[in-house]
Amino acid sequence: MPTVDIHTHIYPPAYISLLKARTTIPYIRTYPTSPTPRLVILPGEDSDSAAHGTPGRPIGPEYWDVNAKLAFMDAHNIGISVLSLANPWLDFLPADEAAAATLTVNDDIEAVCAAHPGRLFAFGALPLSAPAEQIVAEIQRLQTLPHMRGVIIGTTGLGSGLDDPALEPVWEALEATQTLVFLHPHYGLPSEVYGERGGEYGHVLPLALGFPLETTIAVARMVLSGVWDRWRGLKVLLAHSGGTLPFLAGRIESCIAHDGYLKSVGRGVEGRRSVWEILRENVYLDAVVYSPVGLKAAVDASGRDRVLFGTDHPFFPPLDDEEEWLSVKMNSDAIQKAFGEDKESADMVLGGNAIRILRLQEDADK
Ligand code: URA
Ligand code: ZN
C-alpha cells in the first residue's frame, strides 16, 4: 500500500510569474542580503517589525518544479501526492481577473498530474475574489478534470470569513458536487498578539500558533453561524490536524451551552449539531501535527478512518542539506508512536484512508 501525501503544495510556473511581477505581499524578489530569490507571502513579514533577517524564505525549484516534487516523494517513500496550490492561492486577485487566472492554474496542475499517471492528483483552487456564480462555475468545471479530488481554500472566504451568508451558493455547490474542501490557513492572527519583540522570533509564532488558531477560529465561526447545520453533507479536510480543534472542541461546546445571549436568540445548543458530531461526520484531519500527542487527539476526535498523512512540502525544508526532511520524519514518527503495534491503523493514516476517501486508485481517465 503506497504512502499518500495529501498535504503537499506547488506554485505552478504561471503563478510564480504572477508573484515575480508584484511589489506588495505576496511577491517574489531578491535582496542584497540573499543570493536566492525570496518568497514573501505572510501578512507583515516584510514590515519593520519583522526586519530581523531577510524577509520571507528562499524559494527554489522545489516550489514549482514537478521533478523536484517527485524526487522528494522518492526520497521519502511517498507513492502518491495530492498537490494543492500553496497559500495565499488567488485570494489577492482583482475580481475581474480571478476566474481566468484560476482556470489557468487549475489546468496547469491538472496537466502536471496527467503527465505522471498514478502518482499525482490535486485539489483545485477557487476564484474567491470573483462573484459567487464564477466560483460555482469553477467548482462544477473541476468535476470534469480527471485528477482533481477537491478544492483548497483559505479562511477568508469571499473576504468576510466562512460565516459570511454570501457564501451560501458556494457551500451549496460544494455539497451538491460532494467536493472535498481542504481548509488551510494563511492569514494567522494580528501581529500585535506576538508582542513588541515578535519580530525577533522568526516565523515561529505565526506558523506554530497563528496558523492553527486561524483554522480553529474559522471552523468555530462556521459552527456558530450554522453552516454545518444548513449544509450537513459538507466534507472538509482541516489542515494541521484541525489547528487546535480536537483539543478545544469541548471548550467550544461548553461556551455555547453557557452563553445566555445565544440561548435568548434561539441559537444555543438545542437543534445545533455539536462540534464532536461535525468532527466525526464532516471533517477529515491531516496528520501534519508533528507529535503523537496531537495525532492521538486527532484520531480520538475524528476517528482513525478520517486522519490522513501529509508533509506540507515544500515548506519546512531542512536547514542544512540532509536528504531526509526532519519535518517529514517528525510526522511519520508521530504515526508510528501513536499506533505502536497497531500497524493496520498506521497504514490507514499513511495511505489507506486517502486512497479510499479520494478515490486514488480509480483510473483517472474514466
Ligand atoms: N508556511 C506557509 O506559508 N504555508 C504552509 O503551508 C506552511 C508553511
Ligand atoms: Zn500547507
List all residues 6 or more positions away from 236 whose beta carbon is below 8 Å from its beta carbon: 180, 181, 182, 183, 219, 282, 283, 284
Q: Find out whether the beta carbon of 39 lies less than 6 Å from any atom of ligand 1.
A: no
Distance between CA 349 and CA 49 in Å, rounded?
40
**In this structure, what DSSP letter does residue 130 have?**
S
Residue nearest to atom 8 of ligand 1 (CA): 315
Q: Find out whether the beta carbon of 315 lies less than 6 Å from any atom of ligand 1.
A: yes
pLDDT, residue 366, reads: 46
pLDDT, residue 268, reads: 94
> With contact defined as beta carbons under 8 Å apart, do 288 and 312 qualify?
yes
**In this structure, what DSSP letter does residue 289 have?**
T
> With contact defined as beta carbons under 8 Å apart, do 239 and 7 qualify?
yes
Cell 490557513 sits on residue: 185
CA of residue 175 to ligand 2 center, whole Å:
23
CA of residue 312 to ligand 2 center, whole Å:
5
pLDDT, residue 363, reads: 57
pLDDT averaged over consecutive 10-residue blocks of the chain (366 residues)? Answer: 98 94 94 88 77 84 97 98 98 97 97 98 98 98 98 97 98 98 98 93 96 98 98 98 98 98 95 97 99 98 98 97 95 98 98 98 62
The ligand with the least distance to the CA atom of 39 is 1
| Pocket perturbation via mutation, ligand 1, pick of 5, 87, 203 by most ligand atoms within 8 A of CB | 87
Residue 67 three-state SS: helix
Alpha-carbon Rg for the chain, nearest whole angstrom, is 20
Q: Report ipTM for this prediction.
A: 0.96
List all residues 6 or more positions away from 199 whose beta carbon is below 8 Å from its beta carbon: 48, 49, 50, 51, 52
Handedness of CA 211, 216, 218, 219 (dihedral sign): positive
Residue nearest to atom 7 of ligand 1 (CA): 315
Of 103, 238, 98, 258, residue with least CA distance to 162: 238
State residue 124 phi and psi, 5-degree precision: -80, 170
Structural domains of the chain, with CATH: 3-357 (3.20.20.140)
CA of residue 315 to ligand 1 center, whole Å:
6
Residue nearest to atom 6 of ligand 1 (CA): 312
pLDDT, residue 46, reads: 83
Strands (E), the chain: 3-10, 27-31, 34-40, 57-58, 78-85, 120-124, 148-153, 180-183, 235-238, 283-286, 307-308
Distance between CA 280 and CA 272 in Å, rounded?
15
State residue 36 phi and psi, 5-degree precision: -95, 150
